[in-house]
Structure 1
Amino acid sequence: MLQLNVKNETARLRAVVLGTATSNGPTPTLEEAYDPKSLEHIKAGTYPVERDMVNEMEAFNKVFQKYDVKVFRPEIIQDYNQIFTRDIGFVIDDKFIKANILPDRDRELDAIHEVLDQINPQNIISAPEEVHFEGGDVMLWNDYVFIGTYKRPDYKSHITARTNKEGVEFIRDLFPNKKVLSFDLVKSKVEPRDNALHLDCCFQPVGLDKAIIYKGGFYDEAEYSELVKIFGMENLFHIEREEMYHMFSNVFSISPDVVVSEKNFTRLNQWLRNNNFTVEEIPYAEIAKQEGLLRCSTLPLIRD
């Protein structure tokens, strides 16, 4: 059995589900695009090809092997995008919570049955249909759970709005001892530079007391200020609009002092090194074209 344990974003990682880019399928049509960044690259003819994405994910996998992390991979579904395992579920403490995601992505959960079969069924939680959340919006920080959401009345018509207020309340009821804070995110169906698809597109903790943040990703400055209060302005690395577009906040921590980052994130990687992090740089710019990066490709199961 797997003894699930995840309490924050940075404790030493022991087991993880890493997505796969194998048999990723043809380039989507414009109508099939789920997000404005994919749309941009489909239109420009620069949408990533499978071979490049497989190589990028293999580079990520090698880092996990280097740090002796147990890696599970999904079963391959023919011609299907299974890169972003973060969307399909997440672990809080010892509970695996199945995400209520875009309906045509249910098959991705079936593809990790090897993992689910090793979890005590009492610890696998499903939410009612009207409750929406995806793992990219759910961020753990010890006593806190930070949740990205979208509170506008046009929620239903926004394909980029992935977590609703019912999702926030569901987590709050499930974990009454945690402080659950929700953040109204800026969304756009057409401009990826103004679309915080998930909370990890504009915020993520690193180390024991630091975080990467994009102020423009938050509708409400008061909610942004709550994070400043929790972490302290001096511990925040503020990213610019273009850096948010390239997904600077979507790195991934293997431990409090080891961060996997994209090799082109020069300014961020320098800041991390200046703050005594080991930075494992890998190429991930092709996968980034689908508006997801390193955190999106992982589903942590066990952290110390």
Structure 2
Amino acid sequence: MIKLNITNETSRLRAVVLGLANSNGPVPALEDAYDPKSAEHIKAGTYPKDEDMVKEMDAVFEVFKKYDVTVYRPDEIKDYNQIFSRDIAFVIEDKFIKANILEDRSKEIDALHHVIDQIDPSKIIEFPEEAHIEGGDVMPWGDYIFVGTYYGEDYPSFITARTNMKAVAHLQKLFPHKKVKSFNLRKSNTVAQDNALHLDCCFQPIGTGKAIIHKEGFLIEEEYEWLVNFFGKDNCFHITKEEMYNMNSNIFSISPEVIISERNFTRLNTWLRSQGFTVEEVPYAEIAKQEGLLRCTTMPLIRD
């Protein structure tokens, strides 16, 4: 049995699901793109190739091996994108929560049956149909659960809005002892620089009390200010629009001291090292073309 345990974003990682890039199928048609960044690369003819993305994920796999982390991979589904394992489910405490994901992606969870079969069935939770949620929007942090969402009435018109207020309310019901804090994120179906697809595209806690943050990702200034005050101004590393676009906040913590980051994030990686972090640099620029990075491709199951 897998004894799930996730109460924050950074405690020492023991077991994780890492996505798979072996057989993503042909380049999608432009009208089938799920986000503006993928659309950009489809148009430009620079959409990532499977073999390049496999190499990138192998590099992350090697880092996990180095730190003695148990890694689970999905079963391969031919011609199907299985890279972003964070979207399809997430763990809070000892509960495995299945995300309500875009219909086209519903097969992804079935490819994890060998993991799910090892989890106590009473700990597996499915959200009601009308409560939309994806793991990239959900961050447990001690007494809090931070959730990215979109408050607007026009929610249904954004393919980039993945978590709604019904899901936020449902999460509060499931974890009454936690403070569920929601953040209204900036969405754009057409301009990747203006789109915070998930909360982890514009914010992520690191270490024991620091954070990476992109101010413009938040639609409500007070909510952004709340986070800055919560972590303390000096503990926040602010990223630019360009860095947000390149996914600088979407790194991944193996422990409070060790972070996996993209090797091109020069400014961020320099700052992290100046703060005493060990930075394991990997190439992940091809995967980034689909508007996701290290946090998106990993789903932690057990942290100390």
The TM-score, its normalising length taken from structure 1, stands at: 1.00
2:145 corresponds to = 145
Question: In the TM superposition, what is the alpha-carbon distance from 1:43 to its structure 2 partner?
Answer: 0.3
1:199 corresponds to = 199
Question: In the TM superposition, what is the alpha-carbon distance from 1:24 to its structure 2 partner?
Answer: 1.1
* RMSD of aligned residue pairs (Cα, Å): 0.4
1:240 corresponds to = 240
Q: What are the within-5 Å matches in structure 2 for residues 121-270 of structure 1?
A: 121-270=121-270
SS at match of 1:132: coil
Question: In the TM superposition, what is the alpha-carbon distance from 1:157 to its structure 2 partner?
Answer: 1.2
Question: In the TM superposition, what is the alpha-carbon distance from 1:2 to its structure 2 partner?
Answer: 0.5
Detail structure 1 runs of 4+ shifted over 4 Å in the superposition.
none
Q: Distance in 1 between matches of 2:14 and 2:42?
A: 37
Unaligned runs of 5+ in 2: none
SS at match of 2:17: strand
2:28 corresponds to = 28
1:90 corresponds to = 90
Provide Cα deviations, 1:133-161, integer angstroms capped at 9, x if missing partner. Answer: 00000011111100000111111111000
SS at match of 2:146: strand
| 1:101 maps onto 2:115 in alignment | no
1:302 corresponds to = 302
The amino acid across from 1:6 in the alignment is: I
Q: Distance in 2 between matches of 1:15 and 1:25?
A: 28
Provide Cα deviations, 1:220-279, integer angstroms capped at 9, x if missing partner. Answer: 000001101110000000000000000000000000000000000000000000000000
Q: Distance in 2 between matches of 1:82 and 1:123?
A: 24
Q: Percent identity?
A: 67
Q: Distance in 2 between matches of 1:115 and 1:281?
A: 28
Provide Cα deviations, 1:180-237, integer angstroms capped at 9, x if missing partner. Answer: 1000000000100000000000000000010000000000000001101110000000
SS at match of 2:281: strand
Q: Distance in 1 between matches of 2:167 and 2:292?
A: 21
Unaligned runs of 5+ in 1: none
Q: Distance in 2 between matches of 1:288 and 1:241?
A: 15
The TM-score, its normalising length taken from structure 2, stands at: 1.00
Q: Distance in 2 between matches of 1:62 and 1:56?
A: 10
The amino acid across from 2:119 in the alignment is: I
Q: Distance in 2 between matches of 1:180 and 1:127?
A: 16
